[in-house]
Amino acid sequence: MNPWEGKHIWIWQLDQCKSPADVVSQAVALDLTGLIVKGWDGSNYWKQIELITEMAHKAGLIVSAWGYSYGKNPSGEAEAAKRCLNAGADWLVIDAEVEYERNPELADAVLQAFKNLGAILGYTSFGIPSYHGKFPWQKFSAACKVALPQVYWGDFKMAVDKALLKSLADLKKYGLTIMPVGQLYGDVTLNDIAKFADLCERAGLPGLSYWDWQHAGAEKLAAVGCARYKRRADTVSDWAKASWDKAAAKGILDGTDPQGPVTREMLAVILDRCGLLDAAEIPQEVVDAFKSKGLLTSDHPAGARTTWGELASVLGKLK
């Protein structure tokens, strides 16, 4: 299972939530897959990640460490993030915002420093990329496995479905996995919190998250628990394993993400790899040979489609 799959909540200041044990217990009750906990700010390491990681893991939760990036001290930021990994974080999320919009050239050094850590990387930034054209979207998307756009529909004064669809449309061209961040603070309804999860699932997204625990309040946290989001298994079903292995061995599929959604462009590639987009013309003499053996009707031309009845007849005679 990829660490960004399922349903997650962000934690900014752990001491403004509940005790670590209470947070973990409630996270399990809310059917969360994981927590995204602040672990650094610039080059400053936040020890709060150490207070919750071990007990979260024991409860079966994934823990991401996130930190705000200013871009001025790449090695210092990466070192702080490394301490989060040493504390047990499963993956890292770089929070990159206005500093990079103003100075896109900062991205190169910071991303290289983080790539050198060898960890799974994600990045979070503005919810609607087309509104922030100077941000180096391509660089962050190339360096990271997943994008976590901040789709704060309440702040945008937009309907939740409109905000999400706009965000997904803007990010699609960068070609990486998207795990949107929904809004738990401010002027959002309980229905929209649940609807956000439903929209993400219907869009075929592997995971989603919400910002943030300390500002949510009991009712909004409960709405997250009511937001059903099916965890997708990362294993091949028994009934499909033989075919899956054969397809992977022949290079028709790449062998990853067996229960992921199939887009139409993916299907086009699969059909092409199977040779189904380059079907050969069947000569009339071949069809005539089938006719002479009684496998096809005598009036069947080469260019005609075989009917279901004729197919059944052929299969029956080939026993």
**Are 140 and 199 found together in one domain?**
yes
Are 259 and 291 found together in one domain? no
Both 133 and 190 in one domain: the answer is yes
56 and 158 housed in the same domain: yes
Tell me the pLDDT tens digit for each residue of 81-116: 999 999 999 999 999 999 999 999 999 999 999 999
* CA gap 66, 48 in Å, rounded: 12
Q: Could you tell me which residues come within 8 angstroms of residue 94 by beta carbon, excluding any fewer than 6 positions away?
A: 66, 67, 69, 110, 114, 121, 122, 123, 124, 140, 144
pLDDT grade for 258, boundaries at 50, 70 and 90: confident
Q: Are residues 301 and 202 in the same domain?
A: no
* CA R_g for the chain: 25
Is 269 inside a domain boundary? yes
Q: Are residues 105 and 254 in the same domain?
A: no
Assigned domain for 279 exists: no
Characterize 244-269 residue by residue with b for buried, 16 or more Cβ atoms within 10 angstroms of its Cβ, and e for exposed: beebeeeebbeeeebeeeeeeeeeee
Is 278 inside any structural domain? no
The reply to whether 293 and 150 lie within a common domain is: no
Question: Do 178 and 117 share a structural domain?
Answer: yes
Partners of 8 in the beta sheet? 34, 209
- Rounded mean pLDDT of 52-70? 97
Our count of domains for the chain comes to 3
The CATH number given to whatever domain includes residue 217 is 3.20.20.80
Phi-psi region of 186 (alpha: psi -120 to 50; beta: other; left: phi over 0): left
CA angle 130, 36, 21 (to 5 degrees): 155
Q: Are 204 and 76 part of one and the same domain?
A: yes
Q: What pLDDT is attached to residue 234?
A: 60
- Listed in sequence order, the DSSP H helices in the chain are 20-29, 48-58, 74-86, 98-102, 107-115, 137-143, 153-156, 160-171, 190-202, 213-226, 241-249, 264-273, 284-292, 308-317
Same domain as 117, residue 201? yes
By residue range, what is the domain housing residue 249? Answer: 238-273
CA 106 from chain centre, in angstroms, equals 26
Q: How confident is the model at residue 310 (pLDDT cuts 50, 70, 90)?
A: low
pLDDT band for position 245 (50/70/90)?
A: confident
Distance CA 109, CA 250 (A): 40
194 belongs to a structural domain: yes
Considering the domain architecture, whether residues 164 and 255 belong to the same structural domain is answered as no
Residue 1 maps to a domain: no
Indicate yes or no: pTM above 0.85. Answer: no
233 inside domain: no
Are 34 and 149 in a shared domain?
yes
**Does some domain include residue 43?**
yes
Average pLDDT on 294-306 reads: 71
Is 232 within the bounds of a domain? no
